Chain A
Amino acid sequence: MKRGTSLLVLLALLLYASPVAWQVLTSITPAEELMEPGRWLPSRPTLANYQAVVTRSPLPRSLLNSAIVAIATTALATALGSLGAYALARLPVPGRRGIMLAIVMSTAFPAIATVAPLYLIVRALDLRDTWWAVILAHTSFALPLVLWLVAGFMRALPRELEEAAFVDGAGRLGALRHVVLPAAAPGVASAALLAFLFSWNEFLFAYTFTATEASRTAPVALALFPGVFEVPWGDLAAAAVLVGLPPILVVALLQRPLVRGLLAGSLKE
């Protein structure tokens, strides 16, 4: 009985996720079979759609752009955010409550509100159509997210950890490096994962600040995927699978830190 219930729930979840499976099937179906009514499975699975996308579309370059932008955003937000989070969690910074409130509020800002001034900044700094334009814009969301999450994780650590390090003669920075950061590492990893997913998936800023293949990220390239006379459904499905693959790998392989970050972001403080 209990086992039957589990099976039923799992089947329902499989059904729920089936549009993704259908997209994968579409991506390995030969073009001439796509419009056949009633056909679910390809008679001969093919990688031709992937070959077309990889050799004859701007998608590979956009995947590289996305990887660079997402990794740089994550590194910048995690480095600056973790240091700042320690100050907010443990040091007597005047106005701490106000700063924390501003940080939480800024994670809720709508991108549409800041996109026009950011566009003018990007133009003034001559950064249009560069990785840096997108990285800076993504940092405006990733950094407050990391600051807030990591400060929460650090505050949950027992103070005795640091105090033991002080007794051993360590200074504040030594304790931060050798005791606090290692102990908070799982929380830092959770925040970094969320920052990476945010940057990889983001569209509004990336679409606005890029103009050519040189800097267009993967979601932008997918939104602009070439189709002149008719929609190339097979190629489009292959491109969508490639753009969606990194987040799916994160969910499949790093579920524990991801869920910890998601729950902390919603339920704490």
Chain B
Amino acid sequence: MSGRDTRLGWILLSPALAVLALVTLYPVLSVLWLSLQRRVPVFDIARFVGLAHYAFLARDPGFWNAAGVTALFTAVSVALEVALGLAAALALSRLVRWRVAAVALLLVPWCLPGVVTARLFEWLYSPTAWLADPARALPALIAADVWRTTPFVALLAYARLASIPVGVWEAAAVDGAGALATLRVITLPLLAPVLLVATLFRTLDALRAFDLMFVLTGGGPAATTETLTLYAYRNLFQTLQLGFGAAVAVLIFALVTAVAAAHLLAVERTEERA
């Protein structure tokens, strides 16, 4: 029976694994190999160059600018999203009616395609020149990203709050705890695991973000909004240096994998505590 079950398992799993081998596993291995080559398809150039691209990146001001923009964009937008998402979740938990309508409204900014959000903010900003102002373009971009993704954090925190038994709050009230003390001593510790998960999730997405900046600013003005992903894309498909662009992409991949591994560890710990 067990042998047959194992065989059936492979039969059921193999179509999915075959597709993933082609569209996920092969590309991930292939991008590593690509990053070690000088590859310009339009001129039929394909030559092994070892770690030359990585050595160049270490002294490439364009790369370090993009790394700085990415770090700033990720840190500021994720911090704002988690803070605002927590506040929104606390407000939502006070709702005694219209919960379905409230969650629907909350999810509207989240569900829209990034390109739609970009067009929407382009129109909102049109009376100003923020997107062309080197000092204001990145904050304008961060505002759009925060608007779009805070609902995700709010929903997660709200669901966790809703699962806390009413007795916990009643006990706090009986003990004479004020609203602030309850928040600090009870609510925040209970929400900490879910906020950690949301932070890591959002960090992954912020590191990968592409459509919003590609449409709103294209990385400008003067590369002040050029993230690593935009920098990689420009080299891959606009100057068509596949090998060099692949090296940037591999570094983004390494960064994201490190965050994802941290995420998995955090979720495992959360599970253990639950």
Contacts and interface: CB of A to CB of B under 8 A. Distances in A.
A112 B252 CA distance: 8
B13 A114 contact: no
Interface residues of B, number: 89
Nearest to B237: A208
Given A105-B257, A112-B233, A222-B119, A16 B109 contact: yes
A263 B159 contact: yes
A259 B19 contact: no
Nearest to B230: A112
Q: Considering residues A115, A231, A239, which has the most beta carbons from chain B within 10 angstroms of its beta carbon?
A: A115
B9 A16 contact: no
Interface stretch (B57-65, B71-79, B130-138, B204-212): B204-212
A88 to B, nearest CB: 7
B168 interface: no
B190 interface: no
B21 to A, nearest CB: 11
Would you call the interface of chain B mostly helix, strand, loop, or mixed? helix
B24 A106 contact: yes
A247 B19 contact: no
B97 interface: yes
B20 A236 contact: no
Interface string A243-269: 110011011100100110011001101
Given A113-B253, A203-B113, A248 B26 contact: no
Nearest to B114: A203
B175 interface: no
Interface in B19-70: 19-20, 22-24, 26-28, 30-31, 34, 41
Given A108-B256, A203-B113, A251-B111, A20 B31 contact: no
A3 B97 CA distance: 8
Given A266-B156, A269-B267, A86 B113 contact: no
A136 interface: yes
B23 A243 contact: no
B31 A86 contact: no
Contacts of B19: 76, 80, 139, 143
Contacts of A121: 22-23, 26-27
Contact of A247 (B41, B113, B211): B113
A9 B92 contact: yes
B214 A26 contact: no
Interface of B: 2, 5-6, 8-10, 12-13, 15-17, 19-20, 22-24, 26-28, 30-31, 34, 41, 91-92, 94-98, 100-109, 111-116, 118-121, 123-124, 126, 147, 152, 155-156, 159, 194, 197-198, 201, 204, 207-208, 210-211, 214-215, 229, 232-233, 236-237, 242, 245-246, 249-250, 252-253, 256-257, 259-260, 263-264, 267, 271
Top 10 nearest A-B pairs by Cβ distance?
A91-B9, A84-B16, A117-B27, A140-B23, A114-B27, A117-B30, A201-B113, A113-B253, A203-B211, A108-B260
26 contacts: A5-B94, A5-B95, A9-B94, A10-B101, A19-B109, A81-B16, A84-B12, A84-B15, A87-B12, A99-B17, A106-B24, A110-B252, A113-B31, A114-B24, A114-B27, A120-B41, A121-B23, A137-B23, A144-B24, A201-B114, A219-B113, A219-B211, A222-B115, A251-B107, A262-B155, A262-B156
